[in-house]
Amino acid sequence: MNEIYSHIESHVDESIQQLFELVRQPSISTQKVGFDKAPGVMKELLERNGFDAEIVPVPNDGLPTVYGYMAASENPETAPTLLFYCHYDVQPVDPLDLWDTDPFEPTQVGDRLYGRGMSDDKGNIGARLAAIRAFIDERGGVPCNIKMFCEGEEESGSINLPDLIAERGDDFKADACIWEGGGRNLNDDPFMYLGLKGVLGVGLSVRMLSGDAHSSYAAILPSAAWRLLRALQTIKDEDENILIDGFYDGITEPSPEAIAAVEALPDDAPEWLDTFGVSGFVKGLDGEDLRKQLTFQPTANIAGLDSGYQDAGLKTVLPAEAKAKMDFRLVPEQRPYDIVEKLRKHLDKHGFEDVEIEVLGAVNPYRTDLNSPWVQLVAETAEEIYGRKPVMTPNMAGTGPMFDFGDTLGMPIATSGIDHPSHKIHAPNENITVEDFLLGAKHAALIIERFARDWG
Ligand SMILES: [Zn+2]
């Protein structure tokens, strides 16, 4: 593998320039910004790196997936097939004033490269392409068949992905899958995650008046803002219990291996406290209990609240309408559309039939078996590249559409990537280091090599 690693190192400037091309092209799926060009930029980059690439229309007028296929240089009919899941869409850039550089003008400051998507997930795409190009240049091709699935709607909840998988899933099937993410943690240990929580995102709204009224009429007219607040109050209590009937139904104890893996994770509580400027966590949690809460417990979060006037000074208004956005992070036994039904029943039961629910995002949770051979292969290769055993998270607290690949298409999934907690993903000043990029690229290369050897 030394010639492959040397190629990755000696061509790092070119690889970073390719990554910069991707970052320079905005692709904010939530706001549909940049998608006139972004799928084409992604497709062209796959083609330039040796893939047959296609812009795949997504059902329900979704933002397109870009898909690439590269056959093994020898015996492609019998060679195993590896799928890399990535996404070329990014999070919104606001608050823009907290960025030190233009989010869509990639900038190097010291050893860090800044820009929206530099880490999540364009950096992972770039690192994987760097690995693949090394095989092509050094050995005339890749040793296994490779599929690159680059989604365009991951950051806005992958809401159309299940329909795409139902329509064309067979095309994307592979013998194993490497997910986005993974990399190093705060202790510089390699880390892998083997699952993701699901999510249900909803908009809640209530309208009480045909139009805003003078606030003196609050003496006699009903308030939408107060009504929505009262409805929200019924959903969660002060001890973090979610009060929707049946919300926790079917949730089982995590496996002993999953619990042991969480216990073995590093204690990053001080970092959290420092990052968010808080003096403690909910319920006074700390240590292993804190990590178990983060990994194994579902949530009910208010992501946004909106009613009436919030600009300068005072406007004495009684707003006609109030709105909230909520997201529920779900654990493996839960399903988002089941939770919507339960939320509807809950609001009705409490007399809030007039509070409307709009589903904004729904992703099933997923967790890979910690003992699967695929997880072992990826863990062993991580140890070779990083020089230390990886720490494993049974599932991340965040969400992604692993279920559609792991469960619906039935392939084992593990992670490998360029991540580090200092990358500020989803936040202002998102960045990577060249070192993280190189490690991620080398790990991708070694996975390709071992997979081709052991999975034939
Ligand atoms: Zn991502």
Output the tens digit of pLDDT for each of the chain's 456 residues: 999 999 999 999 999 999 999 999 999 999 999 999 999 999 999 999 999 999 999 999 999 999 999 999 999 999 999 999 999 999 999 999 999 999 999 999 999 999 999 999 999 999 999 999 999 999 999 999 999 999 999 998 888 999 999 999 999 999 999 999 899 988 889 999 999 999 999 999 999 999 999 999 999 999 999 999 999 999 999 999 999 999 999 999 998 989 999 998 888 899 889 988 999 999 999 999 999 999 999 999 999 999 999 999 999 999 999 999 999 999 999 999 999 999 999 999 999 999 999 999 889 999 998 889 999 999 999 999 999 999 999 998 988 899 999 999 999 999 999 999 899 999 999 999 999 999 999 999 999 999 999 996
**Phi, psi angle pair for 298, to nearest 5°:** -75, 165
| The one-letter amino acid at 50 | G
* Measured CA distances, 379 to 191, 267, 278, 386 (Å): 9, 21, 34, 10
Residues 376 and 402: their CA atoms lie apart, in Å, by: 19
Pairing type for strands 145-151 and 81-87 reads parallel
Of 362, 354, 448, which Cα lies nearest the Cα of 159? 362
Beta-carbon-side half-sphere exposure of residue 420 (alpha carbons within 13 Å):
20
Q: How far is the CA of 36 from the centre of ligand 1 (A)?
A: 21
Q: Do 375 and 222 contact (CB within 8 A), yes or no?
A: no
Q: How far is the CA of 164 from the centre of ligand 1 (A)?
A: 19
Q: Do 365 and 198 contact (CB within 8 A), yes or no?
A: yes
Q: How far is the CA of 229 from the centre of ligand 1 (A)?
A: 32
For residue 237, count CB atoms less than 10 angstroms from its CB and return exposed for 0-12, middle for 13-18, buried for 19 or more: exposed
Tell me the longest C-alpha to C-alpha distance in the chain.
Answer: 80
Pairing type for strands 176-179 and 81-87 reads parallel
Q: Do 86 and 444 contact (CB within 8 A), yes or no?
A: no
Q: How far is the CA of 360 from the centre of ligand 1 (A)?
A: 18
User: What pLDDT does residue 271 have?
Assistant: 85
Of 311, 318, 303, which Cα lies nearest the Cα of 225? 318
Q: How far is the CA of 428 from the centre of ligand 1 (A)?
A: 15
Spell out the domains of the chain, with CATH numbers in brackets.
Answer: 2-194+368-454 (3.40.630.10), 198-251+298-363 (3.30.70.360)
User: What pLDDT does residue 387 have?
Assistant: 96
User: What pLDDT does residue 303 have?
Assistant: 95
Bond prior to 26 in cis (omega within 30° of 0): no
Q: How far is the CA of 228 from the centre of ligand 1 (A)?
A: 32
Residues 15 and 302: their CA atoms lie apart, in Å, by: 40
Q: What three-state secondary structure class fits 323?
A: strand
Which residue do the tokens 């078996």 mark?
A: 369
Q: End-to-end CA distance of the chain, in Å? A: 19
Residues 327 and 360: their CA atoms lie apart, in Å, by: 9
Other beta carbons within 10 Å of 212:
15
Beta-bridge partners for 413: 177
Expressed in percent and rounded to 5, the helix, strand and coil fractions of the chain are 40, 25, 40
Q: How far is the CA of 282 from the centre of ligand 1 (A)?
A: 26
Containing H/E element for 447?
helix 434-454
Q: How far is the CA of 180 from the centre of ligand 1 (A)?
A: 6
Which parts of 11-101 fold into alpha helices (H)? 12-24, 38-48
User: What pLDDT does residue 275 have?
Assistant: 82
Q: Do 396 and 194 contact (CB within 8 A), yes or no?
A: no
User: What pLDDT does residue 361 have?
Assistant: 87
Residues 28 and 91: their CA atoms lie apart, in Å, by: 6
Helix axes 2-10 and 12-24, enclosed angle (nearest 10): 60
